[in-house]
Amino acid sequence: MKIIVCIKEVPDTAIGLKIRDDSHEIETENIPWIMNPYDEYAIEEAQRLKEKFGGDIAAITVGNERVETVLRSCIALGADRAIRIKDDSLKKKDSLITSKILAEVIRNIEYDVILCGKESVDYGYAQTGQMIAEFLQIPCVSAIKKLEVSPSTKDAMCHREIEGGLEVVKCSLPAVFTAQKGLNVPRYASLSGIMKAKKMKIEILEIDTLGFNPSDLKPKIRVTNLSYPPKRQEGRIIEGTLPDTAKELVRNLKEARVI
Amino acid sequence: MSNKEIWVIAEYENEGIKKSTWETISAARKLANHFGTKSAAVILGNGIKGIVEELSKELDLIYFIEHPLLAKYDSNTYVKCLHQLIKDKNPVIIIASATFRGKDYIPRLSARLNCGFISDCVGFEIKEGIFLKRYVYGGRLMATLKFEESKPWIITIRPRCFEYKRSGNVKGEVLHIKPALEQQDIMVTIQESLKETGKRPDLSESNVIVSGGRGMKGAANFKLLEELSDVLGGAVGASRAVVDAGWLPHSFQIGQTGRVVSPTLYIACGISGAPQHLAGMSTSKCIVAINKDPNAPIFKIADYGIVDDLFKVVPVLIEEIKRAKT
Question: What are A31-76's pLDDT values in tens digits?
Answer: 999 999 999 999 999 999 999 999 999 999 999 999 999 999 999 9
- Which residue has better confidence, A232 or B261? B261
Mean pLDDT, residues A227-232 taken together: 89
Contact B304 A252 (CB under 8 A): yes
Q: What share of chain B is helix, strand, coil (3-state, %, to 5)?
A: 35, 30, 35
Phi then psi for residue A51, to 5 deg, are -65, -35
pLDDT in the model for residue A89: 82
**Is residue A194 one of the residues assigned to a domain?**
yes
* Residue among A8, A37, A39 at smallest CA distance from A116: A39
**Dist CA A81 CA A200 (whole Å):** 9
Residue closest to A256 by CA, chosen among B283, B201, B304: B304
**pLDDT at res. B262:** 93
Cβ contact (<8 Å) for B189 and A219? no
CB within 8 Å: A126 and B107: yes
DSSP state of B84: H
Do A168 and B143 make contact, defined as CB atoms within 8 angstroms?
A: no
Q: Determine the residue of chain A that is closest to B101 in CA distance.
A: A162
Under a CB-based contact definition with an 8 Å cutoff, are residues B34 and B126 in contact? yes
Q: What is the mean pLDDT of each run of 10 residues along chain B (326 residues)?
A: 86 93 96 92 97 95 98 98 97 97 98 97 92 93 91 94 90 96 97 86 93 97 97 96 95 93 97 94 95 96 97 97 89
Residues of B in contact with A126 (CB under 8 A): 103, 107, 119-120
> Are the C-beta atoms of B139 and B133 separated by less than 8 Å?
no
Q: Given CA atoms A63, A67, A71, A72 in this order, what sign does their dihedral have? A: positive
Long-range contacts of B52-55 (CB under 8 A, 24+ apart): B52/B174, B54/B16, B54/B17, B55/B10, B55/B17, B55/B172
CB atoms under 10 Å from CB of A130, counted, come to 28
Counted domains in chain A: 1
Question: Contact B146/A259, CB-based, under 8 Å?
Answer: no
Q: Is residue A250 part of a domain?
A: no
Predicted pLDDT of residue B2: 63
CATH number of the domain within which A124 lies: 3.40.50.620
**Mean confidence (pLDDT) of chain A:** 95
Q: What is the value of ipTM here, to two decimals?
A: 0.95
**How does strand B129-136 pair with strand B123-127?**
antiparallel
Interface of A with B in 5-24 (CB under 8 A): 11, 13-14, 17, 19
Evaluate whether residue A91 is within a structural domain: yes
Give residue A164's pLDDT: 84
- Across the interface, which of B189, B204, B305 has its CB nearest the CB of A170? B189
Whether B108 and A131 lie within 8 Å, measured CB to CB: yes
Average pLDDT over residues A68-91: 94
Domain that holds residue A200: 2-217
Q: Is the pLDDT of residue A227 over 70?
A: yes
pLDDT at residue B3 in the model: 75
d(CA A102, CA A62): 8
* Domain contains A246: no
Instruction: Answer whether residue A218 shows pLDDT above 90.
Output: yes
- Partners of A167 in the beta sheet? A160, B193
pLDDT at A112 over 80: yes
Q: How far, in Å, CA of A227 to CA of B138, rounded?
A: 13
Q: Does B43 touch chain A (CB under 8 A)?
A: no
Say if CB A114 and CB A59 are below 8 A apart. no
Residue A161 within any structural domain of the chain:
yes
Where do the domains of chain B lie, and which CATH numbers do they carry?
5-185 (3.40.50.620), 208-325 (3.40.50.1220)
Q: What is the pLDDT of residue B326?
A: 78
A162–B320 CB contact, under 8 Å:
no
Provide the residue type at B90 as one letter: N
Query: Could you tell me if residue A235 is inside a domain?
Result: no
CA distance A65 to chain B (A): 22
- Which residues of chain A from 52 to 91 reach within 8 Å of chain B, CB to CB? none
Task: Provide φ and ψ at A175, rounded to 5°.
Answer: -155, 160
Kindly state whether residue A253 falls inside one of the protein's structural domains.
Answer: no
